[in-house]
Amino acid sequence: MDARFLGHNLPQGAVHQGVALKIPLLDPVGLEDFEAKRGATLLMLDQITDPQNVGAILRSAAAFGASGVILQDRHTPKLTGALAKAAAGAVDQIDTAYVVNLSRALETLAELGWRAVGLDGHSDKALDQALDGGPTILVLGSEGEGLRRLVAEHCDELAKIPMPGGFESLNVSAAAAVALYEAARSRP
């Protein structure tokens, strides 16, 4: 195909090498599809809107063997080229659920046997102390605001990633990778 034709017919900034495919959207899963078994880990993202961060989080989730990622219907980037490129192939490797209300989703998951640990840099408890190898949801908030109050209140515990180097916080995708690593270490 002519590269200029593709450039005019693809979204602005789309990178291509003379080839473009249109594929159907991936089917999301329901919360009940996540099996609450020992060592299972889910990620829940609270208003993380940067597509590169969400893509990098999906990549880390796949790399560390997470069972899935839970996103809000709103305040979440759509699955676009930028997100897929940042995910580097993980978009179709990790199950994703979309929910309207994160607090209600945490209630549902608790009924299904999951325990929620929210990441909060102001917590007194270190993340490794909050993880017990049971089915765990790691809840991450946006970089500026952190976890919203109601979402944090629906977590069983709040924990922080200790940072002895003096920085106050990490980029959310880096925090997700560190949290997933800790969760993987706590698996039986």
pLDDT in tens, 31-90: 899 999 999 999 999 988 887 888 888 888 988 999 998 998 877 756 655 556 555 555
Instruction: Determine, yes or no, domain membership for 119.
Output: yes
CATH code for position 136 = 3.40.1280.10
- Is 153 part of any domain? yes
In a domain, 83, yes or no: yes
Distance from C-alpha of 66 to C-alpha of 88, rounded to nearest angstrom: 16
User: What proportion of the chain, given as a percentage, has pLDDT over 70?
Assistant: 79
Domain assignment present for 76: yes
Of the candidates 146, 163, 144, the one whose C-alpha atom is nearest the C-alpha of residue 155 is: 146
Q: Are strands 157-159 and 115-119 parallel, antiparallel or unpaired?
A: parallel
What's the structural domain count of the chain?
Answer: 1
Distance CA 139, CA 42 (A): 8
Domain that holds residue 181: 25-185
Residues 6+ apart with CB under 8 A from 128: 182, 185, 186
Compute, in degrees rounded to 10, the torsion defined by CA atoms 89, 92, 98, 104. Answer: -90
Provide φ and ψ at 178, rounded to 5°: -65, -45
Confidence of residue 181 (pLDDT cuts 50, 70, 90): very high
19, pLDDT greater than 60: yes
Is 38 contained in some domain? yes
Q: Which residues of 79-103 are buried (b: 16+ CB within 10 A; e: fewer)?
A: beebbbebbeebbeebbbbebeebb
Is position 8 within any domain?
no
Residue 94 in any domain: the answer is: yes
The reply to whether 86 falls in a domain is yes
